[in-house]
Amino acid sequence: MPVSGFPPIAAPHARLLILGSLPGRMSLERGEYYAQPRNAFWTIMGTLFGAGPELPYATRTARLADAGVALWDVCAAAQRAGSLDAAIDRASVVPNDFPAFFAAHPHIRLLAFNGGKAAELFRRCVTPMLADASNPVRQVTLPSTSPAHAAMPPAEKMTRWAHVLQN
């Protein structure tokens, strides 16, 4: 089934871009990034940036933007059955327009991938289209906040995210 993503959440002064792969079913239904209540994303953002799940979505996203944190997905669209990243059909991936995004957000210095699939899709589908390799954007793959990534306890996910995003 074809799935289309959301526009980025980003202020012009953003310095950090957190990238997922593609919104899941519940996120698509609600029109919100990381809407699945068992996903640890907003809990982590609450601890790090005061953008926790207890706040209205618009407040959470505004707090991230104010903190210089941008949020987007690698895929603008792709075929996927269900919500799991593993079900994304690689051949169907249409990446977001990262050259335009980086031109409009020149202060981005860190790409933080929410899980290995986002990192893999970015390197395979986006890196080849980025002509300006001189832009010093560091990339780091963080543990997926998805409840499907249950092998790592939530406290360990928090520790790893905090270590990268607070340094």
For residue 1, name the pLDDT band (cuts at 50, 70, 90): low
pLDDT for 113-137, tens place per residue?
A: 999 999 999 999 898 888 765 556 8
Q: Which domains does the chain have, with CATH numbers?
A: 2-165 (3.40.470.10)
Structure confidence at residue 165 (pLDDT): 84
pLDDT for 27-36, tens place per residue?
A: 989 999 999 9
Spatial distance between the Cα atoms of 68 and 145, rounded to a whole number of angstroms:
20
Stronger pLDDT, 80 or 163, i.e. the higher one: 163
- Catalytic (active site) residue 167: no
At residue 42, does pLDDT exceed 70?
A: yes
Q: Would you say the pTM of this structure is higher than 0.85?
A: yes
Question: Positive or negative, the Cα torsion across 115, 40, 37, 72?
Answer: negative
- Report the pLDDT averaged over residues 141-149: 88
Q: How is residue 156 written in tokens?
A: 């360990």
Q: How is residue 66 written in tokens?
A: 């104010």
SS (H, E, C) 102-120: HHHCCCCCEEEEECHHHHH
Q: How far apart are the first and last CA of the chain?
A: 39
At residue 69, does pLDDT exceed 80?
A: yes
Contact 64, 49 (CB under 8 A): yes
Of 39, 96, 114, 135, the active-site residue reads 39
Tell me how crowded residue 5 is: count the other CB atoms within 10 A of its CB: 21
